[in-house]
A and B are shown apart, each in its own frame.
Chain A
Amino acid sequence: GQNIDQPTEMTATEGAIVQINCTYQTSGFNGLFWYQQHAGEAPTFLSYNVLDGLEEKGRFSSFLSRSKGYSYLLLKELQMKDSASYLCAVSDYKLSFGAGTTVTVRA
């Protein structure tokens, strides 16, 4: 099975940086995904890590350490539209999700 932990809520100021941590214990691993979900909408793909290290995509970066069972999502230059839930998911071909982290961006 999968055990995936991430903080429930985080609050940050517009223009700031926020780091969302995710730890996991899994029986199988083919990669780690991050999804964004705005209230009332479907999750949308943000990033994918299968090897250790940092993947950067514009204002969003994701890091993976397979030996530590650890990932983080870094959101830079926060904007109001970044207020959403961020879901960490581990793949063993099917995706298992953490409970999600709700990020609130304040002006």
Chain B
Amino acid sequence: DAEITQSPRHKITETGRQVTLACHQTWNHNNMFWYRQDLGHGLRLIHYSYGVQDTNKGEVSDGYSVSRSNTEDLPLTLESAASSQTSVYFCASSARGPTEAFFGQGTRLTVV
């Protein structure tokens, strides 16, 4: 069965370190998204991609970067982790067009 997986599921890191969260989907979807979820804010879009070599900034992109070298993966990098980036991160993918998005199980990141 096709799926979307995130790793790691939990991570604790120190302020200032570079961190990369992995997202891998086997749906062969063109669209991939990264969200963060915090109490009171819901899901906020960090970065998104509509295909290989395409990346776009979302509403809360400062301090984050992504790259899309193949269809299956969209890793999210925190260049220099800050305590404000402590959150639950969700990756999602969808087929071309306004179709439902499928979400990974999330990564809980704590920056100390």
Residues of A within 8 A of B (CB): 1, 30-31, 33, 41-45, 48, 50, 87, 89, 91-100
| Candidates B50, B101, B105; contact of A95 at CB < 8 Å | B101
Complex CA–CA separation, A47 to B20 (angstroms): 32
Residues of B within 8 A of A (CB): 31, 33, 35, 40-45, 48, 50, 56, 58-59, 90, 92, 97-98, 100-106
Q: Which residues of B contact A95 (CB under 8 A)?
A: 33, 43, 45, 92, 101
State the Cβ distance, A33 to closest chain B Cβ, in Å: 7
* Inter-chain contact B90/A93, CB cutoff 8 Å: no
State the Cβ distance, A70 to closest chain B Cβ, in Å: 18
State the Cβ distance, A99 to closest chain B Cβ, in Å: 4
Q: Which residues of A contact B40 (CB under 8 A)?
A: 99
* Inter-chain contact B97/A93, CB cutoff 8 Å: yes
* Inter-chain contact B33/A1, CB cutoff 8 Å: no
Complex CA–CA separation, A92 to B33 (angstroms): 13
Q: Which residues of A contact B56 (CB under 8 A)?
A: 94
- Closest residue of chain A to B48, judged by CB? A94
